Chain A
Amino acid sequence: MNKRVINIGGENVVIPEFKNSLLLYIIVGFIVVWMVFSSAYTVDADEVGVIQRFGKYATTTTPGLHFKIPLGVETVTKVRVQRVFKQEFGFRTIKAGIKTQYSDRDFSSESLMLTGDLNAALVEWIVQYRIKDPVKYLFKVRDVEATIRYVSESIMRQVVGDNSVDEVIILSRKSIALQAQELMQSLLNDYETGVDIVTVNLQDVNPPVPVQPAFNEVNEARQEKERIINEARETYNTIIPKAKGQAEQAILEAEGYATNRINRAKGDADRFTQIWREYSKAKDVTKRRMYIEMMREVLPKIDKKYIVDDELKSFLPMLQLGKEAGK
């Protein structure tokens, strides 16, 4: 009798051969197909496959189609080594998108921390990481994600604990994130998590909610200070140049006055000198002429002229001078 030997999982199973037994062929064929399918596996582009033989690490396979020994002898665990993972602290994204939605829940137990000056701040941050060493990632630490969470929370508090609230909120955000990243990485290396931190980013960093209005008040006060100073400078800048212009004007006016006064004096003096020169040549007649000229000019202007003979002086009161004047 012919015998057929089939190797199943390292054990030799002897199956006697039957003639004309269609059912047997179907069974054998089915087993072969199942073996092929259970031994083939594909590794996606962003993954590697970690192969264990009887539980022991054997090899790591790259993306593509591969075969392993079936029946549980070799098992494959796919690890996404290209993917960058993210963990959020102090907030949670529900749905990322153009308008990202965040959870309304309060995560202040995560984000509230004490600063080095014994103030408090709400610090929200993210940690992005890649699995750099899939073997360590799988075999050295159980629950690497939780480990990253704990490490991140602990380190962030440690770093913030050495900074003032002003540094945490405004001054040193970048350096705090960098320092936290370094410390997290070295701790995760100590634990042999096989994880590489890509970045640590501080998101919103705020004073605790009850203190926020007071912080805003400081900002407002700082702006108010600037505004008041600017306004005062503006007043200065409008008043002083105007005053300078007016001063200039006053001086110019005085100079105009001076020119005018001196020119007039010179003119008057010159005229007098000219007249006097001629006068001194014929004093008497010039004096008379000048007197008469004056009379000729003045007398026609006067409405009431009385000529009284010196012998009739008593007639004078009859003129009723006062009455005439009162008219």
Chain B
Amino acid sequence: MNKNPKLVVYGIIALVLIIILANTLYTIDETKQVIITQFGEPVGDPVSDAGLHVKVPFFQKATYFEKRILEWDGDPNQIPTKDKKYLLVDTFARWRIVDPLKFFQSVNNERNALGRLDDIIDGITRDYISENLLIEVVRNSNRAMAFSTEEQSELIMEVDSLKIEKGRMAITNVILEKVQEVVPQYGIQVEDIRIKQVNYIEEVRTKVFDRMISERKRIAMLYRSEGQGKKAEIEGQTDRELQKINSEAYRIAQEIRGKADATATEIYASAFNRDPEFYTFMETLNTYRETIDKSSTVIFSTDNDYLKYLKTQK
């Protein structure tokens, strides 16, 4: 390569220009906003338009902040409700930096802001949860709940006694309002606070499980005794019908027999009444036929009517 002093000069000029330009121009992403600081002090309004921007090179510095909605996730907190039920309440919030200048001056960065939000949201949540009954935190409306068995009336009674006045949404809305009163000083806007999880603490949970178990056992018992009751009913019905069928059959049969006996008696009587003497004679002869057999011994006297001819022949 040929040495050319002019080329070196051009090259140096170009390099300097590039460095100046690079320090003058800056870009802002759609997700970001910027404040310009001069020796650490903010100057002018925050810039939140995405695109290419210009600043004074070297003396001014661009500091970037998020423009998007950001997350805040609280730790589960053990909070007692007004009715002394210990709950683990886990909340989350959506927030954003609306005033990067204030944000920069008060908390400087996101990590500090999250710490500040921890303090504020946890505190306010604790205050309002402990002011309310457990059911207000769990339920959101007074819709009539359905149960798989009508027999759970006792349970439904219990639930009816636990109607809510506010409900979860109303409580979280109050918490949100209170939080919104505090956070603007940090250049933050909290969009939404929601209860992610509400659960009983371990000891209470065991008690609830025990109650659920006894409740289910009661329902099971109810089913069993219903079965037994129905069974007894059917058995009783069976017995009743059986007795009815048998006795009716007996009655009808006896009636039929009786009628037949009566008819037969009448027939006999009307026939034999023509000559009772002859009937007796004939029937007596028949009984002789039937009762006298091989083992009988007969002693005739010759004055017997039957043998009288044996004698008179003499």
Contact = CB atoms under 8 A, between A and B. Distances in A.
B84 interface: no
B224 interface: yes
A187 B193 CA distance: 12
B199 A146 contact: no
Nearest to B67: A139
Nearest to B145: A164
B29 interface: yes
A192 B94 CA distance: 12
A49 interface: no
B267 A57 contact: no
Interface residues of A, number: 126
A212 B297 CA distance: 95
Interface residues of B, number: 130
Contact of A211 (B69, B159, B216, B227): B216
Contacts of B162: 118
A264 B145 contact: no
B9 to A, nearest CB: 11
A31 interface: no
Interface in B133-172: 134-135, 138-141, 143, 145-149, 152, 155, 158-159, 162, 168-169
A141 B301 contact: no
Q: Main SS of the interface on chain B? A: helix
Chain B CB within 10 A, most for which of A222, A235, A268:
A222
B12 interface: no
B143 A162 contact: yes
Contact of A246 (B29, B230, B249): B249
A117 B6 CA distance: 88
A150 B217 contact: no
Contact of B281 (A153, A158, A167, A287): A287
Contacts of B66: 142
Contacts of A222: 223
A218 interface: yes
A276 B79 CA distance: 118
Contacts, number: 356
Interface string A289-326: 01100110111011111111110010010010100110
A225 B295 contact: no
A258 B71 contact: no
Contact of A295 (B135, B205, B306): B306
A55 B27 contact: yes
Given A56-B50, A265-B268, A272-B279, A247 B198 contact: no
A214 interface: yes
Contact of B199 (A55, A112, A324): A112
A44 interface: no
A295 B307 CA distance: 11
Interface in B223-244: 223-224, 226-228, 230-231, 234-235, 237-238, 241-242
B112 interface: no
Interface string B88-101: 00001010000000
Nearest to A114: B138
A280 interface: yes
Interface stretch (A59-67, A196-204, A237-245): A237-245
9 contacts: A56-B27, A114-B199, A117-B158, A141-B94, A154-B196, A211-B213, A221-B227, A247-B246, A254-B254
Interface of B: 1-2, 4, 6-7, 10, 14, 17-18, 21, 27-32, 49-52, 66-71, 73, 92, 94, 134-135, 138-141, 143, 145-149, 152, 155, 158-159, 162, 168-169, 191-192, 194-200, 205-206, 208-209, 212-213, 215-217, 219-224, 226-228, 230-231, 234-235, 237-238, 241-242, 245-246, 248-250, 252-257, 259-261, 263-265, 267-268, 270-272, 274-275, 278-279, 281-282, 285, 288-289, 292-303, 306-307, 310-311
Given A57-B50, A120-B205, A276-B279, 11 more contacts: A52-B50, A55-B30, A151-B194, A154-B92, A158-B140, A166-B148, A190-B191, A240-B238, A264-B264, A276-B278, A308-B299
